[in-house]
Amino acid sequence: MEEPSLDMHVQFLTGVGPDRAALLARLGIHTVRELLWTLPRDLLDLTEVRQPRDLVAGELQTIRGSVVDIDGRSLGGRKTLTACLLDCGTEYVRAVWFNQPWMKNRLKLGDWVLCSGKPKLSRNRWEFNGPRWQLLSEDETEATGGLVPRYGLTEGLRMGEMQRVVRNAVEQFAELVEDPVPPDLLKRRDYPTLSNALRSVHLPESLDKYQQARERILFDDLLEFQLGLALRRRVWRARKGAPVLDVTAKIDARARRLFPFDFTPGQDTAVREIAADLKSGYAMHRLLQADVGAGKTVVAIYSMLVAVAHGWQAVMMAPTELLAQQHWQTVEQALAGSRVKRALLTGSLSAAERRKTLEQINSGEIDLVVGTQAVIQDAVKFPKLGVAVIDEQHKFGVHQRAQIRKHGDVDPHYLIMTATPIPRTVALTVFGDLDTSIIKQMPPGRKPVTTKRVDEKYRQRTYEYVRDEVRKGRQAYVVCPLVEESESLDLRAAEQLHAELKEGIFHDLRLGLLHGKLDEDAKRSVMDAFRAGDIDVLVSTLVIEVGVDVANATLMIIEHAERFGLSQLHQLRGRVTRGAIGGECFVLGSSFAEDARERLKVLVNTTDGFVLAEHDARMRGLGELFGTRQHGLGELRFGDLLEDNDILEQARADALEIVAADASLRDPQFAELRRIVVERYGKKLDLVTVG
């Protein structure tokens, strides 16, 4: 038998053996250490379960019972009622849910559940209205009292068995867990040791101790990631060698003269922050985020012109050719008549055009480049790259900055732009290694878009309104969603609607069709025609979400709006805010579930993209919106970034303090922290020199 250690195979743990070890292996559990870190998925609170005779009206209480009847019915319109009758042993108790028709399919006869809520007496029977509920396993139906941790299972492994195995592991091995966080920091934050935290989450004595232990484990996750980000910033600072680009009064005046408007206060602030970075001697790593239409591209072009003024090159990289084309047009308008030599580099250039453009870039003849990912291919070799602008970075992936760095002899300055406003939580994680500038003010004279949610019965009337307005000289978008991650489904939806509108209500208008299946030349041709006014109504998929600015297009219909997230809807309607008159956006849907109605209510009532981003993150989750896992932060072991933002702030402050005191974590008290950070995030965060 192996000596007791955290790396001992679970087969040799009391109560396991070969058969049960095989079941645990399906859950990814092979060692005692992995078992200890298999944290409960939730906690069953049986401390306050009451019998019906002990209930008190209006107080928060919990009952347990088996489902003996469940029924759902319509109350007229969209209102529904689902009623469940529970046998609680001595009496029957009723639980009801309004406008949650799915509850009828969530519960079935014979299920045992816990229901928590504030009951009332109705016709001499206790009734819970909209209670929180938990489905109980067979092992839990007879459990009495206490706090019961519940784990993810696999076929053949019962909850009671899993709980006993974990209990044995905690009692025998929890004390062997090494604590990576120094005692002084634990004391300051009033957190338990890691071994005590693991004991409290697996064998909870009270809700307070369980919560404190949960926070301690989450703190470790966030501290380790924030240390990784802080170390990466230190690595960047240690490189030096970035070009010193001083924004003199002359350069500032020359750059501003290229734009036929004054900068907004937000743009001025962003420019000042960027200017300080450019002359520091260290490579700028700055996130520039702005609401839709707030003018972030202008600030980006300004930054690039500073590099050109000092004899360096600048590049702007966009995730799609459509967005690159839009940026190119903005650059061309701003620099018309200037001596700045510029080029567009995308995948759709002909072989001859590409060869000539590459020669000019690689020789240093071209000052400013706009392009797609084509600008980071091996054939592109900037001899003097001073500023690199990456637009919509979360659509690229995590290693784009590193790829750009390979193409020059020194580190360029990086400006990362995102027109998708992001919650502070995301700014501290996905973009936690960047300084941040925010532009919130809109340019003067720009009117906000009016958004209206339209029920299916008013669909025809909405299309008639848009038709009449287009006949007066306005242009419109009609947007179809990606029903699934399938280009064929996407294409069929757009083509079908285009055909229906062309033969039907828009038969006398000029229609265009834009979708992801078109080649780049076809996309460019459609957009050029739309900009020129040769297309009245553009039927499109999500390809117009960003980077399409047509001032006369002030009308938009979004089909199946319930399929979009808030940030997507906000980006889409941003396409109709570019003109002098206020834009109008109509969000249509065949059916609006409760969450979709809530989402669209927020959209209709606010035009602030930062507020919408917070709502969207809470409704859909950070991972779906911003790909936190692809950016380095893995699955949190025990927490939720949105719900535990205060712990994230603590972890960030502590990480910065630790790295400021010990830039390489060489102090023995940080040895375990350093090992974990390099092991978990070394490759993901490019911490080779730290390891």
Q: Band the pLDDT of 4: cuts 50, 70, 90.
A: confident
pLDDT digits (tens, 9 = 90+) for 343-369: 999 888 888 999 999 999 999 999 999
pTM for the whole thing? 0.73
The dihedrals phi and psi of 134, each to the nearest 5 degrees, come to -135, 135
Beta-strand runs (E) in 464-579: 475-479, 511-514, 537-540, 553-558
Q: What is the dihedral of CA 508, 509, 510, 515, to 10 degrees?
A: -120
228, 229, 237: which is closest to 277 by C-alpha? 237
Q: What is the mean pLDDT of residues 314-335?
A: 90
pLDDT digits (tens, 9 = 90+) for 486-527: 544 444 578 889 999 999 999 999 999 998 888 888 888 999
Q: What 8-state DSSP symbol labels residue 31?
A: B
The SS3 assignment for 387 reads strand
Q: Band the pLDDT of 401: cuts 50, 70, 90.
A: low
H or E stretch at 189: helix 183-189
AA identity, residue 510: R
> Does residue 534 surpass a pLDDT of 90?
yes
296, 314, 312: which is closest to 391 by C-alpha? 296
Mind giving me the DSSP string for 162-180? Answer: HHHHHHHHHHHHGGGPPP-
- Is residue 73 within 8 A of residue 81, CB to CB? The reply is yes
Residue % of the chain over a pLDDT of 90: 48
249-439 and 450-606 share one CATH topology?
yes
- What whole-number distance in Å separates Cα of residue 31 and Cα of residue 9? 4
The SS3 assignment for 447 reads coil
- Is residue 561 within 8 A of residue 455, CB to CB? The reply is no
- Is residue 191 within 8 A of residue 197, CB to CB? The reply is yes
User: If you classify domain 450-606 with CATH, what class do you get?
Assistant: alpha beta
53: its two tokens: 């005779």
Mean pLDDT of the chain: 85
Q: What residue ranges do the domains of the chain occupy?
A: 1-41+160-177, 45-147, 218-239+635-681, 249-439, 450-606
Q: Is the model more confident about 409 or about 335?
A: 335
> Does residue 194 surpass a pLDDT of 60?
yes
pLDDT digits (tens, 9 = 90+) for 650-691: 999 999 999 989 988 899 999 999 998 888 877 766 654 444
The SS3 assignment for 601 reads helix
pLDDT for residue 489: 46
pLDDT for residue 681: 79
- What whole-number distance in Å separates Cα of residue 657 and Cα of residue 674? 15
Q: What are 113's strand-pairing partners?
A: 65, 135
pLDDT for residue 541: 87
CATH number of this structure's domain 45-147, picked from the four choices 3.20.20.140, 3.40.50.261, 2.40.50.140, 1.10.3720.10: 2.40.50.140
pLDDT digits (tens, 9 = 90+) for 11-23: 999 889 999 999 9
595: its two tokens: 């969450």
CATH topology of domain 1-41+160-177: DNA polymerase; domain 1 (1.10.150)
Q: Is the model more confident about 430 or about 287?
A: 287
Is domain 249-439 given the CATH code 1.10.443.10 in the classification? no
Q: What 8-state DSSP symbol labels residue 631?
A: T
